[in-house]
């Protein structure tokens, strides 16, 4: 990927295809715009239905999202851990979640005939960890543990690419508090930190009342991106600002204020879900703390999921056109791409090292751009062809080195694909423009 410490497009493994010939994927399997764009532009590759390879550009975006999440978790004292992917099914029996058959569960047996679950979520695993060291002194709480890992769900209809996978990346957090009051405070704090994560991603979202479903507990909220492809329906009351997943209420009247006409119904993609669990898991699995008077108290829990791989696809889905991928700055694999002239062109000899020097300068003057500038060094291709590729891949700032760069004074052509405008700028103006117009 890197030549002389620079990110160079010629070295990136990005199999661009119109139709994936090698995979067993047929066009009928492509059910959403984001899935098609991410496959065709070499961000992901399907391994089997609902399972995807993250290729370098896709993984770079995922890592940016992970960094935002890690930053925000640090602010609320979230501690990062990693639970095993396999959970002993005894724990699920003890929590009561296996009382009914769960169609989505992937289950495996070891050589000793012990059943394991390929974890779709980790409430039991997290609670069992606390239980194994219980009773824990009240001084350790609130305790906020989170992980970022693959989750497994044998979805009836894996579709829309990363949006509904059978193996997908989730950030899940489990919180433990000594009493209901402090657990509610934790719930509010985590929700606020999720608001900040979504503010930083920069896609419009709504937080709505959600159903607790099979997870249990007494209160839950969902974070939704508004999108026509979304599988959830959301009711928003313009009269009292109440909003909820339609699963929880009728679609004609606001359950909060009774309003019947000022109701807005939308479809959304669920990108996050928070649950106030109380003692639903801690009681049966025995996760307790010792209180000030040395009495054992059952811990109060919360569970908080962010569908990281789904968020990437949903962001692309919301922003892109049918033919061009678009990213929010915060998640784009690169924010700037530089196109030097074609090999053998008139400009080539006069612009030697101009692209490399500009690359270095951009990174020096704008430290947040470090690792986020890409050099399209495929100079056997025309500028026009490389420009179309860059536009289709959604790079926000495309800098072209051309005839104007060889003149005195010298200028660069900057294409701002988010604003859909082309500017001719001096080096100083160019750096300033990129600095002002990139959200980090």
Query: What residues make contact with ligand ATP under the rule CB under 6 A?
Result: 121, 153, 155, 163-165, 168, 170, 270-273, 305, 307, 309-310
Beta bridge partners of 20: none
The one of ligand ATP, Mg ion, none whose footprint includes residue 427, by CB under 5 to 8 A per kind, is none
The one of Mg ion, ligand ATP, none whose footprint includes residue 164, by CB under 5 to 8 A per kind, is ligand ATP
Q: Is 273 in the site for Mg ion (CB under 5 A)?
A: yes
402 and 341 Cβ atoms separated by less than 8 Å: yes
Question: Would you say 163 or 401 has its CB closer to ligand ATP?
Answer: 163
Least Å from the CB of residue 394 to ligand ATP: 21
The one of ligand ATP, Mg ion, none whose footprint includes residue 284, by CB under 5 to 8 A per kind, is none
Least Å from the CB of residue 266 to ligand ATP: 16
Least Å from the CB of residue 3 to ligand ATP: 35
Provide CB contacts within 8 A for 417, sequence distance 6+: 324, 326, 391, 394, 395, 396, 397, 398
Query: Taking CB under 5 A as the rule, which mask of x and - marks residues 228-267 in contact with Mg ion?
Result: ----------------------------------------
Backbone angles phi, psi at 96, to 5 degrees: 95, 0
Question: Would you say 7 or 273 has its CB closer to Mg ion?
Answer: 273
Residue closest to 392 by CA, chosen among 42, 30, 62: 42
The one of Mg ion, ligand ATP, none whose footprint includes residue 165, by CB under 5 to 8 A per kind, is ligand ATP
Least Å from the CB of residue 211 to ligand ATP: 8
Q: What is the DSSP pairing of strand 136-137 with strand 143-152?
A: unpaired
3-state secondary structure 285-345: HCCEEECCCCCEEECEEEEEEEEHHHHHHHHHHHHCCCCCCCCCHHHCCCCEEEECCCCCC
Question: Would you say 307 or 394 has its CB closer to ligand ATP?
Answer: 307
Residue nearest ligand ATP by beta-carbon distance: 307
Distance CA 35, CA 43 (A): 10
Q: What is the 3-state composition of the chain as percent helix, strand, coil, each rounded to the nearest 5?
A: 35, 30, 40
Element (H, E) at 47: strand 44-48
Least Å from the CB of residue 84 to ligand ATP: 19
Contact stretch for Mg ion (CB under 5 A) within 183-191, 254-262, 273-281, 287-295: 273-281
Judged by CB under 5 A, the number of residues near Mg ion is 1
Backbone angles phi, psi at 121, to 5 degrees: -175, 165
Contact stretch for Mg ion (CB under 5 A) within 54-62, 271-279, 350-358, 388-396: 271-279
Least Å from the CB of residue 166 to Mg ion: 16
Least Å from the CB of residue 92 to ligand ATP: 14
The one of ligand ATP, Mg ion, none whose footprint includes residue 153, by CB under 5 to 8 A per kind, is ligand ATP
Ordered strands of the 296-298 beta sheet? 136-137, 288-290, 296-298
Three-class secondary structure of residue 252 per DSSP: coil
Q: Is 153 in the site for Mg ion (CB under 5 A)?
A: no
The one of ligand ATP, Mg ion, none whose footprint includes residue 302, by CB under 5 to 8 A per kind, is none
Least Å from the CB of residue 306 to Mg ion: 11
3-state secondary structure 131-181: HHCCCEEHHHCCEEEEEEEEEECCCCCCECHHHECCEEEEEEEEEEECCHH
The one of Mg ion, ligand ATP, none whose footprint includes residue 170, by CB under 5 to 8 A per kind, is ligand ATP
216 and 277 Cβ atoms separated by less than 8 Å: yes
Least Å from the CB of residue 270 to Mg ion: 5
Three-class secondary structure of residue 431 per DSSP: helix
The one of Mg ion, ligand ATP, none whose footprint includes residue 272, by CB under 5 to 8 A per kind, is ligand ATP
Question: Would you say 12 or 206 has its CB closer to Mg ion?
Answer: 206
Distance CA 12, CA 320 (A): 22
Question: Would you say 213 or 349 has its CB closer to Mg ion?
Answer: 213
Contact residues toward Mg ion (CB under 5 A) are 273
């Amino acid at each position: 990927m890197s030549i002389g410490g620079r990110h160079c497009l010629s070295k990136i493994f990005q199999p661009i295809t119109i139709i994936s010939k090698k995979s067993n994927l047929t066009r009928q399997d492509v059910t959403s715009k984001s899935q098609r764009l991410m496959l065709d532009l070499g961000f992901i590759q399907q391994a089997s239905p609902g399972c995807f390879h993250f290729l370098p550009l896709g993984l770079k975006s995922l890592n940016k999202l992970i960094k935002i999440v890690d930053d925000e978790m640090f602010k609320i004292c979230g501690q990062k851990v990693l639970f095993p992917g396999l959970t002993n099914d005894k724990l699920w029996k003890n929590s009561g979640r296996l009382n009914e058959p769960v169609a989505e569960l992937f289950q495996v047996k070891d050589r000793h005939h012990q059943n394991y679950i390929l974890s779709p979520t980790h409430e039991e695993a997290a609670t069992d960890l606390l239980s194994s060291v219980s009773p824990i002194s009240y001084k350790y709480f609130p305790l906020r543990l989170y992980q970022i890992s693959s989750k497994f769900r044998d979805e009836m209809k894996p579709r829309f690419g990363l949006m509904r996978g059978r193996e997908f990346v989730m950030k899940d957090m489990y919180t433990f508090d000594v009493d209901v009051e402090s657990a509610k405070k934790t719930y509010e704090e985590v929700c606020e930190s999720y608001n900040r994560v979504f503010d930083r991603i920069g896609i419009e979202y709504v937080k709505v009342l959600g159903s607790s479903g099979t997870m249990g507990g007494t209160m839950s909220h969902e974070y939704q991106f508004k999108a026509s492809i979304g599988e959830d329906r959301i009711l928003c009351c313009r009269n009292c600002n109440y909003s909820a997943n339609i699963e929880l209420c009728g679609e004609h009247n606001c359950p909060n204020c009774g309003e019947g006409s000022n109701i807005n119904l939308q479809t959304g993609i669920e990108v996050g879900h928070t649950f106030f669990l109380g003692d639903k898991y801690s009681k049966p699995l025995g996760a307790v703390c010792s209180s000030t008077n040395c009495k054992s108290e059952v811990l109060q829990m919360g569970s908080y999921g962010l569908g990281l791989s789904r968020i990437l696809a949903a962001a692309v889905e919301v922003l892109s056109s049918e033919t061009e991928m678009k990213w929010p700055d915060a998640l784009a694999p690169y924010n700037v791409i530089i196109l030097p002239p074609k090999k053998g062109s008139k400009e080539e000899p006069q612009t030697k090292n101009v692209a490399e020097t500009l690359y270095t300068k951009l990174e020096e003057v704008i430290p947040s751009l470090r690792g986020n500038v890409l050099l399209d060094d495929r100079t056997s291709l025309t500028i026009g062809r490389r420009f179309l590729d860059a536009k289709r891949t959604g790079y926000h700032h495309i800098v072209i080195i051309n005839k104007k760069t060889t003149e005195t004074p010298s200028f660069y052509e900057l294409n701002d694909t988010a604003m859909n405008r082309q500017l001719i700028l001096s080096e100083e103006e160019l750096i300033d423009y990129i600095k002002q117009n990139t959200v980090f």
